[in-house]
Chains A and B, each alone.
Chain A
């Protein structure tokens, strides 16, 4: 895809064809994902994978923006590219942000793992030096990792230095007891991880029994009873990576819910060191969900509440009357980013769209503009919060007419999973971003 093609597509954006198409796309279940073919186009002529985030920083080139637009496909921009992609469609097309076959390649970039290629060989080397706890320690004790991890966003963040020093001082304060407690919780949660990932990673599910048990021994995982080898292996990987993370980020250690975030990552990323760094990238934003003081949670709940108040005063008043205006009833959606409400595939789509927003913002792009169209959706770091608000707003009628206590709303929200359609939710979230972001 070159600039010429981009401008041609931008032109198409304003054609009547697009307008008529827009009227129906909302109802379509099928969406276009970033396809392997399109992804391959992001390689340099020499065949080297571009550091996409670094690339974005340099200039808003067609290729980089195209990349983000594809992943951003839950939003308006997918339309532009759909014209180009229509011939590629055949048979069933999954609802997704990124084609599953290239997720493992795309995610590190979305999660801002800078110099991924260099890191790859470096960490691979390190991870070969030991297993189990040794492996965890290697990941942490390597002095270059702080530089190696994706910090471009944080470096621009005035709190970065502060956060970093907090991390360091907390590391010293972390006691052996804290880590032992984390280890116990990690094992407990790893063993009760369910099997929904198996359909997405058959190769991991069929790992030989000897290998699974061997790895479980390496990480000190016992009590797995009659679990199938694939699930023992899955649990052992969760343990290895979460323990490494607990050492790496002692301020958080391990908080329940993190296992939910990691399980999809290890399903996509087959190498543990890659999965670890993706978790690090993910946690850069999700970190405040798991802080002991819960301050980050309350700040985010406050934003959700504000979005609802600005969008729907009647609903807000009803919530206030019930003493539920703090929106605590969406707590779980917030903490584990819809992982408990949405299906495996839908969760990945939401996260990909969310990450693409964050990746673009890290790269200094405020808006993925297409010509002079009025259909621009500003990028936001808080897409999740708009999606949560959209989710509540969708159910305003039920909430106002049928529920007369916060408890009932909480129960309703905890069980609304099956009713959610991620693309509809993202459409509505997008609308909220467009109309309210300036006021929030």
Chain B
């Protein structure tokens, strides 16, 4: 089917939102794609996704963001959606230490089920609840460095850093893609223009240890 003109894009990047229940994944998504926030956002059942097309590093990127259920029992269903994702936003709630403690479990999930080169960004959400903060920025920052993740704190409610977070991860994905296409010396531009999701791990299914370069 022919794409409409307003849907023209250079790249389609699939990104997943993961993290414990109630950390604000759905609201990060709605803030980014529709500039909306809903206090009564219900738990996500299964998976949902939304898209937004934006400019990143001078390119038109269509970001397809998959929102997943946070409860552990649905993980078998949601982890199927990690496949083909170029990026993952791993979200915790800065007011709930357990959601930060569980980040390592989520990382393991990604390493088990996602493509090995997936770009992972750690997000501490709900910074608007200043008086309730229970996870220090420095702790999360050092954890992210140790694990080789990028890190940012956001407030979906106040629309702080949400745009920046998505911009950052999409830019990082773009840099990896362009580096990869340069090094592989393929006329990549044409295939990319097809608008297909590009797997960073490419055609090879060989498992590499994650992220650390």
Binary interface encoding of chain B residues 36-49 relative to chain A, with 1 for a CB under 8 A from any of its CBs, else 0: 00011111011111
* Bound CA span A335–B42, Å: 14
Known: A185-B21, A255-B73. A414 touches B48 (CB 8 A): yes
Nearest chain B CB to A108 CB, angstrom units: 27
Considering only residues 56-91 of chain A, those with a C-beta below 8 Å from chain B are: none
Question: Smallest CB–CB gap between B27 and chain A, Å?
Answer: 11
Q: Is the interface of B mostly helix, strand, loop or mixed?
A: loop
Q: How far is the CA of A290 from the CA of B21 in the complex (A)?
A: 16
Contact: B43 with A257, CB < 8 Å?
yes
**Does A194 interact with chain B (Cβ within 8 Å)?**
yes
* CA of A256 to CA of B40, assembled, Å: 15
Complex contact B40–A195 (CB within 8 A): yes
Residue of A with least CB distance to B22: A188
- Asked if B77 contacts A192 (CB within 8 A), the reply is no
A411 proximity list for chain B (CB < 8 A) = 48-50
Question: Which residues 237-268 in A have Cβ within 8 Å of B in the complex?
Answer: 255-257, 259-260
Closest CB in chain A relative to B71 CB, distance in Å: 5
Known: A188-B21, A192-B41. A407 touches B49 (CB 8 A): yes
A402 at the interface (CB under 8 A from B): yes
- Indicate if the CB atoms of A256 and B49 lie closer than 8 Å: no
B1 beta carbon closer than 8 Å to chain A: yes
CB distance B71 to A185 under 8 Å?
yes
CA distance A391 to B72 in the complex (A): 29
Say yes or no for B5: interface residue by CB 8 A criterion: no
| Complex CA–CA separation, A256 to B47 (angstroms) | 13
- A255 CA / B47 CA spacing, docked (Å): 15
Residues of A within 8 A of B42 (CB): 189, 192-194, 260, 340
User: In the docked arrangement, what's the CA distance between A290 and B69, Å?
Assistant: 13
Please tell me which one of the listed residues B43, B46, B48, B69 contacts residue A259 in the complex, with CB atoms under 8 A apart.
Answer: B43
Residues of B within 8 A of A335 (CB): 45-46
Q: When the two chains form their complex, are residues A256 and B45 in contact, meaning their CB atoms are under 8 A apart?
A: yes
Query: Is the pair A194, B40 in contact by a Cβ cutoff of 8 Å?
Result: yes
- CB-CB under 8 A from A189, the residues of chain B are 42-43
- How far, in whole Å, are A199 and B76 apart by their CA atoms in the complex? 37
Closest to B50 in A: A411
- CB-defined contacts of A257 to chain B, threshold 8 Å: 43, 45
Distance of B13 from chain A, by nearest CB (Å): 14
Task: Select A331's contact among B40, B41, B46, B64, beta carbons within 8 Å.
Answer: B46
Asked if A119 is at the interface (CB within 8 A of a chain B CB), the reply is no
Q: Does A143 contact B (CB under 8 A)?
A: no
A148 at the binding interface (Cβ < 8 Å)? no
Contact B77 A294 (CB under 8 A): yes
Separation of A180 and B72 alpha carbons in the complex (Å): 14
Are the CB atoms of A256 and B1 closer together than 8 Å? no
**B51: nearest residue on chain A (CB-CB)?**
A411
Q: Which residue of A lies closest to B47 (CB)?
A: A410
A332: interface (CB < 8 Å): yes
In the complex, residue of chain A having the shortest beta-carbon distance to the beta carbon of B44: A256
| Binary flags per residue of B53-95, CB closer than 8 Å to A gives 1, else 0 | 0000000000010000111111011000000000000000000
**Which residues on the A side are within 8 Å of B50 (C-beta)?**
411
B48 touches A193 (CB 8 A): no
Q: Smallest CB–CB gap between A264 and chain B, Å?
A: 14
Is A292 among interface residues, defined by CB-CB distance under 8 A? yes
With A194-B40, A292-B73 already in contact, the answer to whether A336 and B45 are too (CB < 8 A) is yes
Q: What are the residues of chain A within 8 A of B21 when measuring CB–CB?
A: 185, 188, 256
**Is the CB of A270 closer than 8 A to any CB of chain B?**
no
In the bound complex, what is the Cα–Cα distance between A336 and B190 (angstroms)? 44
When distances are taken between beta carbons in the complex, the residues of chain B under 8 Å from A194 are: 40, 42
Distance between B107 CB and nearest chain A CB, rounded to angstroms? 19
Would A404 and B1 be within 8 Å (CB), given that A194-B42, A259-B43 are in contact? yes
Shortest CB-to-CB span from A52 to chain B, Å, is 33
Complex: A407 Cα to B84 Cα, angstroms? 13
Collect the chain A residues with CB atoms within 8 Å of residue B47's CB: 331, 410
Of B1, B71, B72, B98, the most chain A CB neighbours within 10 A belong to B71
Residues of chain A within 8 A of B40, CB atoms compared:
192-195
Is there an interface contact between B71 and A256, defined as CB atoms closer than 8 Å?
Answer: yes
Contacts of A259 in B (CB 8 A): 43
Q: How far is the CA of A404 from the CA of B194 in the complex (A)?
A: 14
The answer to whether A332 and B1 have CB atoms under 8 Å apart is no
- B63 to chain A minimum Cβ distance, whole angstroms, is 13
* Complex alpha-carbon distance, A188 and B99, angstroms: 13
A185 CA to B74 CA, complexed, in Å: 13
Most buried by A among B45, B72, B74: B45
Closest to B81 in A: A407
A332 touching B74 in the complex, CB below 8 Å, given contacts A192-B41, A256-B21: no
Q: Whole-angstrom distance between the alpha carbons of A260 and B42 in the complex?
A: 9
**Residues of chain B with a CB closer than 8 A to A407's CB:** 49, 64
Cα distance A294–B78 when bound, in Å? 12
In angstroms, Cα B76 to Cα A407, docked, is 18
CB of A192 within 8 A of CB of B43, answer yes
- Complex alpha-carbon distance, A31 and B108, angstroms: 53
Closest 4 CB pairs of A and B: A256-B43, A188-B22, A331-B46, A194-B40
New A-B pairs, 12, CB < 8 Å, besides A181-B72, A189-B43, A257-B45: A185-B21, A188-B21, A188-B43, A193-B42, A256-B71, A259-B43, A294-B76, A332-B46, A340-B45, A410-B47, A411-B49, A414-B48
Query: Taking beta carbons and an 8 Å cutoff, which residues of A are in contact with B?
Result: 181, 184-185, 188-189, 192-195, 255-257, 259-260, 290, 292-294, 328, 331-332, 335-336, 340, 402, 404, 407, 410-411, 414
Query: Can you list 20 A-B contacts (CB < 8 A)?
Result: A181-B72, A185-B21, A189-B43, A193-B40, A194-B40, A255-B71, A255-B74, A256-B43, A256-B69, A294-B76, A331-B77, A332-B46, A336-B45, A340-B42, A340-B45, A402-B1, A410-B47, A410-B48, A411-B49, A414-B48
